[in-house]
C-alpha cells in the first residue's frame, strides 16, 4: 500500500479472497477492554491494568505480524475516555509516550508502519511530536500497518469528514449529488487501508462503542471473555479460526 494514497472503494471493501471460507482477514481491529477489571481482581489500581495492557499489545502486534495480517488496529483512547478521571487520562497519555519511545526502533526494524487514527485537537504537543515522529519514521514500511486509535471516535471522524466535504461543496468543487460512499470513505482517517474484516472485543462486552462505525459495515465480530491484559497469540489465533468458519455474504445469497 502506498503511503498517503487513498485506496479506491473496491480495494478497501472485503475482497473475495479474504472473505472465502477458511480465509484469513487482511485487517483485524481490536477493542482492548477489561484492563480495569483485570487490575481490580488483583486488588491493584486501574492504572496497573493499563500497564499490563501495553504488554498484551506488544504480544498481539508480534503475533499479528507472524500471522501475516496486513493491518492491525487497536482502540487505545476514545473521544469518550476524556470523561475518566484526569489522573487516568494522564496515565494513558504516559503509556502512549512510553510505548512509542521504547518500541519505535523495534517496530521500525520489523517493517511495521505506524499510523495514529483520531483527532489531534486536545492532545499535548509532545504527544503530537511523538506521533509525527513515529508516522514519519515508519511511513515506507510494508510488513504490517499498526493503527493506534487514540483520541478516536467514529462519530467524530464522520463529523470531520462531513465538514471537509461541505467545504469542498461550498468552494464549488463538489456537486452534492456526486457525494457517494467512495467520497466519504476517502474523507475518513482510514482512507489509506482496507476496512477490517474482523473486529475483536475482549472482556465479554458486546458493543462497538463508537469504534470504526463506518468501516465495520461488513465486519465479522468476535467477542471473547478474556480480559485484555491476558490476551495473547493464542487468543488472536482463536479469533482468526472463528472468523475462518464464518460465511460472509455481503447482502448476497
Ligand atoms: C478499556 O479497559 C481500555 C482502555 C480504555 C485503554 C486501552 C489502553 C491500553 C490497552 C494500553 C494503552 C496503550 C497505548 C499504546 C496507549 P477499561 O479500563 O475500560 O477496563 P474495564 O472495563 O475493566 O474498567
What are the tens digits of pLDDT across the range 16-75? 666 666 789 999 999 999 999 999 999 999 999 999 999 999 999 999 999 999 999 999
* Mean pLDDT, all residues of the chain: 94
Query: Average pLDDT, stretch 92-116?
Result: 98
Instruction: Answer yes or no: is pLDDT of 11 > 80.
Output: no
Q: Whose alpha carbon is nearest atom 24 of ligand 1?
A: 36
Do the Cβ atoms of 203 and 14 come closer than 8 Å?
Answer: no
Query: Average pLDDT, stretch 121-127?
Result: 97
Output 248 or 38, whichever has higher pLDDT. 38
Q: Whose alpha carbon is nearest atom 10 of ligand 1?
A: 53
**How far does the centroid of ligand 1 lie from the alpha carbon of residue 63, in Å?**
20
Output 247 or 217, whichever has higher pLDDT. 217
Query: Average pLDDT, stretch 115-129?
Result: 97
pLDDT interval class at 7 (50, 70, 90): confident
Atom in ligand 1 nearest the alpha carbon of residue 227 = 23
**How far does the centroid of ligand 1 lie from the alpha carbon of residue 251, in Å?**
34
Round the CA-based radius of gyration of the chain to a whole number and report it: 18
Could you tell which of 50, 55, 102, 153 is best to mutate to test the pocket of ligand 1, judged by most ligand atoms within 8 Å of the CB?
Answer: 50
Write out pLDDT tens, residues 160-214.
Answer: 999 999 999 999 889 999 999 999 999 999 999 999 999 999 999 999 999 999 9
How would DSSP label each residue in the chain?
--TTPPPPHHHHSPPHHHHSTT---SEEEEE---HHHHHHTTT--HHHHHHHHHHHHHHHHHHHHHTT-SEEEEEEEEGGGGGS-HHHHHHHHHHHHHHHHHHHHHHHHTTEEEEEES--TTS-HHHHHHHHHHHHHTTT--SEEEEEEEEE-HHHHHHHHHHHHHHHHHTTSS-GGG--HHHHHHTSTTTTSPPPSEEEE-TT----TTSSTTTTTT-EEEE--S-GGG--HHHHHHHHHHHHT----TT--
Closest alpha carbon to 47 in 231, 229, 230: 229
* Annotated active-site residue in 15, 81, 210, 230: 81
* Annotated active-site residue in 33, 192, 195, 235: 33
Q: Whose alpha carbon is nearest atom 7 of ligand 1?
A: 76
Annotated catalytic, 81? yes
Whole-number pLDDT of residue 3: 43
Q: Which residues have CB under 6 Å of ligand 1?
A: 32-37, 46, 50, 53-54, 57, 76, 81, 92, 95-96, 99, 148, 203, 228
**How far does the centroid of ligand 1 lie from the alpha carbon of residue 212, in Å?**
17
Whole-number pLDDT of residue 8: 73
Annotated catalytic, 33? yes
Q: Whose alpha carbon is nearest atom 5 of ligand 1?
A: 77
Do the Cβ atoms of 184 and 165 come closer than 8 Å?
Answer: yes
Does the predicted TM-score (pTM) go above 0.85? yes
**How far does the centroid of ligand 1 lie from the alpha carbon of residue 33, in Å?**
6
What structural domains and CATH numbers belong to the chain?
24-153+195-243 (3.40.1180.10)
Q: Whose alpha carbon is nearest atom 14 of ligand 1?
A: 96
Whole-number pLDDT of residue 2: 41
Instruction: Answer yes or no: is pLDDT of 249 > 90.
Output: no
Q: Whose alpha carbon is nearest atom 8 of ligand 1?
A: 76
Amino acid at each position: 500500500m502506498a503511503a498517503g494514497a487513498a485506496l479506491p472503494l473496491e480495494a478497501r471493501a472485503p475482497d473475495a479472497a479474504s472473505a472465502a471460507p477458511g480465509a484469513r482477514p487482511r485487517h483485524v481491529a481490536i477493542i482492548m477492554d477489561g484492563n480495569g477489571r483485570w487490575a481490580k481482581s488483583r486488588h491493584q489500581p486501574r492504572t496497573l491494568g493499563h500497564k499490563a495492557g501495553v504488554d498484551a499489545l506488544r504480544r498481539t502486534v508480534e503475533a499479528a505480524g507472524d500471522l501475516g495480517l496486513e493491518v492491525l488496529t487497536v482502540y487505545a483512547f476514545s473521544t469518550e475516555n476524556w470523561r475518566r478521571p484526569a489522573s487516568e487520562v494522564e496515565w494513558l497519555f504516559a503509556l502512549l509516550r512510553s510505548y512509542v519511545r521504547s518500541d519505535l526502533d523495534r517496530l521500525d526494524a520489523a517493517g511495521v508502519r505506524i499510523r495514529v487514527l483520531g483527532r489531534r485537537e486536545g492532545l499535548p504537543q509532545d504527544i503530537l511530536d511523538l506521533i509525527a515522529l513515529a508516522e514519519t519514521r515508519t511511513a515506507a514500511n510494508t510488513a504490517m500497518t499498526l493503527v493506534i486509535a487514540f483520541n478516536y471516535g467514529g462519530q467524530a471522524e464522520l463529523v470531520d469528514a462531513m465538514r471537509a466535504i461541505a467545504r469542498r461543496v461550498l468552494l464549488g468543487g463538489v456537486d452534492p449529488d456526486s457525494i457517494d460512499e467512495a467520497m466519504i470513505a476517502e474523507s475518513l482517517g482510514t482512507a489509506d487501508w482496507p476496512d477490517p474484516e474482523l473486529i475483536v472485543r475482549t472482556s465479554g462486552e458486546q458493543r462497538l462503542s463508537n469504534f470504526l462505525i463506518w468501516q465495520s459495515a461488513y465486519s465479522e465480530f468476535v467477542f471473547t471473555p478474556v480480559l485484555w491484559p491476558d490476551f495473547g497469540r493464542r487468543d488472536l489465533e482463536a479469533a482468526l479460526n472463528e472468523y475462518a468458519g464464518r460465511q460472509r455474504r455481503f447482502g448476497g445469497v
